[in-house]
């Protein structure tokens, strides 16, 4: 329930909020503090953060890239969202 609520707070407007630095520090603590988080949860946060980083200011995008990189290193099973076989899915664009 906690991570679902935290996931719902991650939106595009967050990158323009007044207390975004404090929120991002707490987000890093929540996501990197435990190795016991399920892979699907970490992957969901990575995908959501990357989608939001597309429309974020450069400083926010750089933060997201660093955080996602650290999460993918820490949770190796999530590497499947990056490294896929070309035959598994065709790009619709």
pLDDT tens string 31-82: 888 878 888 888 899 999 999 999 999 988 999 999 999 888 888 887 777 7
Q: Determine the pLDDT at residue 22.
A: 92
Residues 6+ apart with CB under 8 A from 79: 72
Dist CA 61 CA 67 (whole Å): 10
pLDDT at position 32 = 86
Question: Coil, helix or strand for 80?
Answer: helix
- Looking at the predicted structure, is the pLDDT value of residue 29 above 60? yes
pLDDT in the model for residue 89: 58
User: What is the per-residue pLDDT for 93?
Assistant: 44
Would you say 80 and 42 are in contact if contact means Cβ atoms under 8 Å apart?
no
- Rounded to an integer, what distance in angstroms lies between the CA atom of residue 7 and that of residue 11? 9
Q: Which residues contact 80 (CB under 8 A, 6 or more apart)?
A: 43
DSSP state of 4: H
């Amino acid at each position: 329930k906690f991570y679902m609520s935290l996931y719902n707070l991650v939106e595009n407007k967050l990158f323009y909020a007044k207390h975004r630095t404090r929120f991002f520090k707490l987000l890093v603590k929540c996501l990197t503090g435990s190795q016991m988080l399920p892979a699907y949860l970490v992957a969901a946060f990575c995908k959501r953060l990357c989608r939001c980083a597309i429309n974020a200011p450069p400083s926010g995008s750089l933060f997201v890239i660093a955080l996602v990189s650290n999460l993918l290193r820490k949770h190796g099973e999530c590497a499947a969202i990056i490294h896929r076989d070309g035959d598994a899915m065709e790009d619709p664009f």
